[in-house]
Amino acid sequence: MSKDQVMKIDIAKVLKHKAPKTKVPTFLVNYLRKIVHEDEFNVFFKNNPGLKNLEFIEAAFKYLDVTTSIVGKANLPPKDGRYIFASNHPLGGLDGITTGYLIGKEYDGKVRFFSNDLMMFLHPMKEMFVPVNKVGIQSKGHAEMMQELYESDNHLVTYPAGMCSRKINGKIIDLEWKKNFISKAVQYQRDVVPIYFEGRNSNFFYRLAKIRKFLGVKFNVEMMYLADEMFKQRGNHFTIRIGNPIPWQTFDKSKTHTEWAQEVKDIVYKMA
């Protein structure tokens, strides 16, 4: 995107594109505009044209009055290696941007992070994003892209839970961590660096998730509010904690990859 191009969010156009034959009531469009913060995003985009990647994130932090820091920086491995940074996922958006930014600053911008649908619309950061394949069926093109990614010199930030944390028995915690990052660490000989991100969404978000689950609704309704949750984080300070790197050779056949994934998750939460 050039400096002459200004990104703009238009919820009405998105809905028309996604459901061209469906007439969405005006009150619903307006409500979606509100919870997505369409106006605020567009003001930010207008005032920060042409910014990309780390510069774009820095401007977003300033706009949201967000500050960041790293604990355990001495645990960061040398720049000449290739690593997978595995983190918990309490926020579902801003945590990914923050972690990607902090790791990117330490490794000269050589960082890519897996992102959900919410983040993919941020075109100024598209070079840093890796789209998550939630369907589970990989096209040939997607498989080739993943191979190139893991063989590249970029460091990867992943969220093995695949979705943001929920409130379980009074604790904000990820759901089960998927094994894929362990399998890829072994396959491409990348050490795993555990990261703990301090943060949480609002009580409204967790209550909505529980109600949705209780009613048996499969559509992830609460995810629609992630943009709203991000704006609720205005003025906050976020800290990521870096743990000791785990050599890829650690993940041997004494445990399954699923069991190793759980062990790394346990390590992350012990860093809290």
CA atoms within 13 A on the CB side of 250: 16
236-271 pLDDT, tens digit per residue, is 999 999 999 999 999 999 999 999 999 999 999 999
Lowest mean pLDDT, pick from 3-17, 71-85, 100-114, 160-174: 3-17
Same domain, 5 and 136: no
Reading the block at residue 192, the tokens are 């795993």
More confident: 3 or 124: 124
More confident: 3 or 35: 35
Burial of 117: CB neighbours in 10 Å, binned 0-12, 13-18, 19+: exposed
What average pLDDT does this structure show over 60-83? 96
Does 79 fall in a domain? yes
Same domain, 151 and 32: no
Q: State the pLDDT at residue 120.
A: 64
Q: State the pLDDT at residue 72.
A: 97
Same domain, 239 and 186: yes
Same domain, 29 and 152: no
Please name the residue that has the structure tokens 């809905």.
Answer: 15
Calculate Rg over the CA atoms of the chain. 19
Q: State the pLDDT at residue 155.
A: 95
> Considering the chain, what is the average pLDDT of its residues?
90
Does 56 fall in a domain? no
Does 31 fall in a domain? yes
Same domain, 242 and 172: yes
118-151 pLDDT, tens digit per residue, is 566 678 888 888 877 554 455 667 788 889 999 9
Number of domains in the chain: 2
Does 240 fall in a domain? yes
Q: State the pLDDT at residue 116.
A: 64
Same domain, 107 and 1: no
Same domain, 19 and 100: no
Say whether pLDDT at 74 is over 90.
yes
Same domain, 101 and 223: yes
What average pLDDT does this structure show over 153-181? 95
Does 64 fall in a domain? no
In three-state secondary structure terms, 7 is coil
End-to-end CA gap in the chain? 39
Q: Sorting pLDDT into bands at 50, 70 and 90, what band is 75?
A: very high
Cβ(128)–Cβ(112) under 8 Å?
Answer: yes
Does 60 fall in a domain? no
Same domain, 22 and 140: no
For residues 15 and 11, what is the distance between their CA atoms, to the nearest angstrom? 6
40-59 pLDDT, tens digit per residue, is 999 999 999 999 999 999 99
197-242 pLDDT, tens digit per residue, is 999 999 999 999 999 999 999 888 898 899 999 999 999 999 999 9
Same domain, 133 and 82: yes
Lowest mean pLDDT, pick from 18-32, 54-68, 108-122, 154-168: 108-122
Q: State the pLDDT at residue 135.
A: 46
CATH number of the domain residue 77 falls in = 3.40.1130.10
Taking alpha carbons only, the member of 122, 135, 83 closest to residue 245 is 83
Strands (E), the chain: 67-71, 83-87, 111-115, 129-131, 155-158, 166-168, 171-173, 191-197, 237-242
Same domain, 99 and 207: yes
Reading the block at residue 217, the tokens are 């609704």
Does 57 fall in a domain? no
More confident: 223 or 184: 184
Residue 2: give the domain boundaries: 1-50
Same domain, 147 and 245: yes
Does 223 fall in a domain? yes
